[in-house]
Amino acid sequence: MLEVTGITKRFGGLTAVADASLEVRDGEITALIGPNGAGKTTLFGIIAGFIPADRGSVRFLGEEILGIAPHLLARRGLVRTFQIVQPFAGLSVRENIAVGCQLRELSRAAALREAEEVSRRVGMGDLIERPVGALTIAGRKRLELARALATRPRLLLLDEVMAGLNPREIADMVPLIRAIRGSGVTLLLTEHVMPAVMSLAERVYVLNDGHVIAEGKPAEIVADARVVEAYLGHGAADRLARHQISGGAHA
Protein backbone atom coordinates (compact mmCIF):
# COMPACT_ATOMS: atom_id res chain seq x y z
CA MET A 1 0.00 0.00 0.00
CA LEU A 2 2.80 2.40 0.93
CA GLU A 3 6.43 2.15 -0.12
CA VAL A 4 8.91 4.66 1.22
CA THR A 5 12.32 4.48 -0.42
CA GLY A 6 15.48 6.37 0.44
CA ILE A 7 13.88 9.42 2.02
CA THR A 8 16.35 12.06 3.15
CA LYS A 9 15.52 15.35 4.82
CA ARG A 10 17.92 17.97 6.11
CA PHE A 11 17.09 21.00 8.21
CA GLY A 12 20.15 23.19 7.78
CA GLY A 13 23.07 21.14 9.12
CA LEU A 14 20.82 18.60 10.83
CA THR A 15 19.87 15.46 8.92
CA ALA A 16 16.48 14.58 10.38
CA VAL A 17 15.83 11.60 8.12
CA ALA A 18 18.65 9.80 6.29
CA ASP A 19 17.93 7.38 3.48
CA ALA A 20 14.95 5.88 5.28
CA SER A 21 12.91 3.14 3.63
CA LEU A 22 9.87 1.26 4.83
CA GLU A 23 6.88 -0.61 3.53
CA VAL A 24 3.31 -0.71 4.80
CA ARG A 25 1.36 -3.73 3.61
CA ASP A 26 -2.31 -3.72 2.87
CA GLY A 27 -4.47 -4.45 5.93
CA GLU A 28 -1.60 -4.50 8.41
CA ILE A 29 -0.61 -2.39 11.37
CA THR A 30 2.95 -1.16 10.91
CA ALA A 31 4.73 0.70 13.68
CA LEU A 32 7.56 3.18 13.44
CA ILE A 33 9.40 3.45 16.74
CA GLY A 34 12.52 5.18 17.94
CA PRO A 35 13.85 7.46 20.67
CA ASN A 36 12.89 11.12 20.88
CA GLY A 37 14.29 13.13 18.02
CA ALA A 38 14.82 10.07 15.82
CA GLY A 39 12.90 11.69 12.95
CA LYS A 40 9.60 9.82 13.21
CA THR A 41 7.36 12.85 13.04
CA THR A 42 9.41 14.36 10.22
CA LEU A 43 9.09 11.16 8.20
CA PHE A 44 5.36 11.19 8.90
CA GLY A 45 5.13 14.76 7.74
CA ILE A 46 6.92 13.85 4.52
CA ILE A 47 4.67 10.88 3.79
CA ALA A 48 1.51 12.94 4.41
CA GLY A 49 2.75 15.78 2.18
CA PHE A 50 3.28 18.38 4.92
CA ILE A 51 7.07 18.51 4.64
CA PRO A 52 8.98 18.37 1.35
CA ALA A 53 11.74 15.74 1.20
CA ASP A 54 15.22 16.38 -0.18
CA ARG A 55 15.54 12.97 -1.78
CA GLY A 56 13.72 9.68 -2.13
CA SER A 57 10.36 8.38 -3.17
CA VAL A 58 7.00 7.69 -1.54
CA ARG A 59 4.56 5.48 -3.42
CA PHE A 60 0.95 5.13 -2.30
CA LEU A 61 -1.24 2.56 -4.06
CA GLY A 62 1.46 2.24 -6.67
CA GLU A 63 1.73 5.94 -7.51
CA GLU A 64 4.46 8.43 -6.61
CA ILE A 65 2.98 10.93 -4.15
CA LEU A 66 5.99 12.98 -3.13
CA GLY A 67 5.21 16.65 -3.73
CA ILE A 68 1.42 16.19 -3.73
CA ALA A 69 -0.39 18.56 -1.36
CA PRO A 70 -1.75 17.08 1.89
CA HIS A 71 -5.40 17.84 1.09
CA LEU A 72 -5.12 15.94 -2.20
CA LEU A 73 -3.55 12.98 -0.42
CA ALA A 74 -6.41 13.03 2.07
CA ARG A 75 -8.84 12.78 -0.85
CA ARG A 76 -6.92 9.76 -2.13
CA GLY A 77 -7.30 8.12 1.26
CA LEU A 78 -4.04 8.90 3.05
CA VAL A 79 -4.83 10.78 6.25
CA ARG A 80 -2.65 11.64 9.23
CA THR A 81 -3.25 12.68 12.82
CA PHE A 82 -1.00 15.00 14.80
CA GLN A 83 1.12 14.11 17.81
CA ILE A 84 0.27 17.49 19.31
CA VAL A 85 -3.50 17.43 18.90
CA GLN A 86 -4.85 20.03 16.52
CA PRO A 87 -8.57 20.37 17.26
CA PHE A 88 -10.82 23.05 15.80
CA ALA A 89 -10.86 24.68 19.21
CA GLY A 90 -13.97 26.82 18.94
CA LEU A 91 -16.23 24.01 17.72
CA SER A 92 -18.08 21.12 19.29
CA VAL A 93 -17.02 17.48 19.03
CA ARG A 94 -19.77 16.89 16.46
CA GLU A 95 -18.68 19.86 14.32
CA ASN A 96 -15.07 18.74 14.51
CA ILE A 97 -15.85 15.25 13.28
CA ALA A 98 -18.27 16.55 10.65
CA VAL A 99 -15.39 18.40 8.97
CA GLY A 100 -13.81 15.00 8.38
CA CYS A 101 -17.10 13.50 7.18
CA GLN A 102 -17.47 16.29 4.67
CA LEU A 103 -14.59 15.02 2.61
CA ARG A 104 -16.91 12.33 1.20
CA GLU A 105 -20.30 13.73 2.17
CA LEU A 106 -21.49 16.81 0.31
CA SER A 107 -24.53 17.56 2.46
CA ARG A 108 -23.77 19.44 5.67
CA ALA A 109 -26.76 17.95 7.49
CA ALA A 110 -25.75 14.41 6.53
CA ALA A 111 -22.16 15.10 7.63
CA LEU A 112 -23.38 16.28 11.04
CA ARG A 113 -25.49 13.11 11.37
CA GLU A 114 -22.67 10.86 10.24
CA ALA A 115 -20.40 12.48 12.85
CA GLU A 116 -22.52 10.85 15.52
CA GLU A 117 -21.87 7.40 14.10
CA VAL A 118 -18.13 8.04 13.96
CA SER A 119 -18.12 9.38 17.52
CA ARG A 120 -19.71 6.13 18.73
CA ARG A 121 -17.09 4.12 16.89
CA VAL A 122 -14.33 5.76 18.90
CA GLY A 123 -16.33 5.62 22.12
CA MET A 124 -17.15 9.30 22.52
CA GLY A 125 -20.83 9.16 21.58
CA ASP A 126 -21.89 10.79 24.83
CA LEU A 127 -19.47 13.69 24.37
CA ILE A 128 -20.72 14.69 20.95
CA GLU A 129 -22.24 18.07 21.85
CA ARG A 130 -19.35 19.06 24.12
CA PRO A 131 -17.10 21.96 23.16
CA VAL A 132 -13.57 20.73 22.46
CA GLY A 133 -12.25 22.87 25.31
CA ALA A 134 -14.10 20.62 27.78
CA LEU A 135 -12.29 17.45 26.65
CA THR A 136 -9.46 15.76 28.54
CA ILE A 137 -6.21 14.90 26.74
CA ALA A 138 -7.52 11.37 26.18
CA GLY A 139 -10.70 12.84 24.73
CA ARG A 140 -8.74 15.09 22.38
CA LYS A 141 -6.60 12.16 21.21
CA ARG A 142 -9.78 10.25 20.43
CA LEU A 143 -11.23 13.23 18.64
CA GLU A 144 -8.08 13.47 16.53
CA LEU A 145 -8.60 9.82 15.62
CA ALA A 146 -12.34 10.25 15.01
CA ARG A 147 -11.85 13.17 12.67
CA ALA A 148 -9.31 11.29 10.59
CA LEU A 149 -11.51 8.20 10.57
CA ALA A 150 -14.46 10.31 9.40
CA THR A 151 -12.69 10.95 6.10
CA ARG A 152 -12.93 7.19 5.39
CA PRO A 153 -9.19 6.71 4.83
CA ARG A 154 -7.51 3.69 3.30
CA LEU A 155 -4.24 4.36 5.09
CA LEU A 156 -4.28 6.09 8.44
CA LEU A 157 -1.09 7.59 9.87
CA LEU A 158 -1.31 7.86 13.64
CA ASP A 159 1.38 10.02 15.22
CA GLU A 160 1.73 8.98 18.88
CA VAL A 161 -1.97 8.69 19.66
CA MET A 162 -1.09 7.22 23.05
CA ALA A 163 1.46 9.79 24.19
CA GLY A 164 0.29 11.51 27.35
CA LEU A 165 -2.35 8.91 28.18
CA ASN A 166 -2.45 6.99 31.46
CA PRO A 167 -2.25 3.14 31.46
CA ARG A 168 -6.01 2.82 31.73
CA GLU A 169 -6.57 5.09 28.75
CA ILE A 170 -3.92 3.22 26.76
CA ALA A 171 -5.69 -0.04 27.54
CA ASP A 172 -8.85 1.51 26.06
CA MET A 173 -7.04 2.77 22.97
CA VAL A 174 -5.46 -0.53 21.92
CA PRO A 175 -8.71 -2.40 21.10
CA LEU A 176 -9.98 0.74 19.38
CA ILE A 177 -7.03 0.77 17.00
CA ARG A 178 -7.42 -2.94 16.42
CA ALA A 179 -11.10 -2.39 15.57
CA ILE A 180 -10.14 0.29 13.04
CA ARG A 181 -7.81 -2.16 11.32
CA GLY A 182 -10.63 -4.72 11.49
CA SER A 183 -12.83 -2.35 9.51
CA GLY A 184 -10.39 -2.52 6.61
CA VAL A 185 -8.14 0.49 7.28
CA THR A 186 -4.39 0.00 6.99
CA LEU A 187 -2.40 1.72 9.73
CA LEU A 188 1.04 3.18 10.14
CA LEU A 189 1.72 4.44 13.63
CA THR A 190 4.57 6.01 15.52
CA GLU A 191 4.58 5.15 19.15
CA HIS A 192 6.55 5.43 22.36
CA VAL A 193 4.41 3.11 24.41
CA MET A 194 6.20 -0.17 23.76
CA PRO A 195 3.70 -2.68 25.20
CA ALA A 196 1.02 -1.16 22.97
CA VAL A 197 3.26 -1.46 19.91
CA MET A 198 4.14 -5.05 20.77
CA SER A 199 0.52 -6.09 21.01
CA LEU A 200 -0.70 -4.11 17.99
CA ALA A 201 1.88 -4.11 15.25
CA GLU A 202 2.58 -6.85 12.76
CA ARG A 203 5.70 -5.13 11.60
CA VAL A 204 8.01 -2.68 13.31
CA TYR A 205 10.61 -0.28 11.94
CA VAL A 206 13.10 1.34 14.28
CA LEU A 207 14.35 4.80 13.46
CA ASN A 208 17.42 6.23 15.17
CA ASP A 209 19.17 9.47 14.23
CA GLY A 210 17.18 9.47 11.02
CA HIS A 211 18.30 5.98 9.97
CA VAL A 212 16.15 2.87 9.88
CA ILE A 213 18.33 0.61 12.05
CA ALA A 214 16.07 -2.42 12.31
CA GLU A 215 12.89 -3.90 10.99
CA GLY A 216 10.91 -7.03 11.68
CA LYS A 217 8.26 -8.61 13.85
CA PRO A 218 7.85 -7.06 17.33
CA ALA A 219 9.49 -10.07 19.02
CA GLU A 220 12.55 -9.84 16.76
CA ILE A 221 12.86 -6.13 17.36
CA VAL A 222 13.02 -6.30 21.16
CA ALA A 223 15.78 -8.89 20.87
CA ASP A 224 17.82 -6.75 18.49
CA ALA A 225 20.98 -5.41 20.13
CA ARG A 226 21.04 -2.30 17.92
CA VAL A 227 17.55 -1.34 19.07
CA VAL A 228 18.41 -1.78 22.72
CA GLU A 229 21.48 0.42 22.24
CA ALA A 230 19.51 3.08 20.44
CA TYR A 231 17.21 3.40 23.41
CA LEU A 232 19.57 2.77 26.32
CA GLY A 233 22.94 3.93 25.03
CA HIS A 234 26.11 2.44 23.61
CA GLY A 235 27.15 -0.81 25.30
CA ALA A 236 23.77 -1.32 26.92
CA ALA A 237 23.01 -4.49 24.99
CA ASP A 238 26.25 -6.04 26.18
CA ARG A 239 25.65 -5.10 29.77
CA LEU A 240 22.09 -6.40 29.63
CA ALA A 241 23.24 -9.69 28.18
CA ARG A 242 25.87 -10.11 30.91
CA HIS A 243 23.33 -9.15 33.52
CA GLN A 244 20.91 -11.73 32.17
CA ILE A 245 23.51 -14.49 32.29
CA SER A 246 24.47 -13.70 35.89
CA GLY A 247 21.07 -12.57 37.24
CA GLY A 248 18.81 -14.66 35.07
CA ALA A 249 15.38 -13.48 36.24
CA HIS A 250 14.90 -10.53 33.83
CA ALA A 251 13.25 -11.32 30.53
Partner 1 sequence: MRTPGLLVLLVLVALAPLPLLVHSDFWLHFAIMTLYFGLLGQAWNLLGGYGGQRSFGHAAFFGTGAYAAAVLQVDFGVNPWACLVLAGLFGAAAGAVVGALSFRYGLRGSYFALVTLAFAEVFRIVADTVPFTGAGVGFQIPLKQAVANFQFHDKPGFYAVILALTALATALAWWIENSRFGAELVAVRENEDAARALGIDVNRTKLWAIVLSGALSGFAGSFYAQYFLYLDPRIAYGVEVSVTALLVPLIGGVGTVFGPLIGAVALRALNEVSGVITGGAPGLNLMLYGALLIVILAFVPDGLVSLGARLRASRPLGKLGHA
Pick one of 16, 147, 187, 200: the residue that binds partner 1 (CB under 8 A).
147
Member of 33, 38, 79, 237 binding partner 1 (CB under 8 A) = 79
Q: How many residues bind partner 1 (CB under 8 A)?
A: 31
Residue 236 beta carbon to partner 1: minimum distance, rounded to whole angstroms = 37
Cβ proximity to partner 1, 94 vs 203, nearer residue: 94
User: How far apart are CB 140 and partner 1 at their closest, in Å?
Assistant: 12
Binding of residue 52 to partner 1 (CB under 8 A): no
The DSSP result for 57-113, as a single string, is EEEETTEE-TT--HHHHHHHTEEE--SS----TTSBHHHHHHHHHTTT---HHHHHH
Binding mask 94-133 for partner 1 (x = CB under 8 A): -x--xxx-xx--xxx--x----------------------
Nearer to partner 1, 9 or 140 (CB): 140
Q: Which of 169, 121, 126 lies closest to 146, judged by CA?
A: 121
CA atoms within 13 A on the CB side of 146: 30
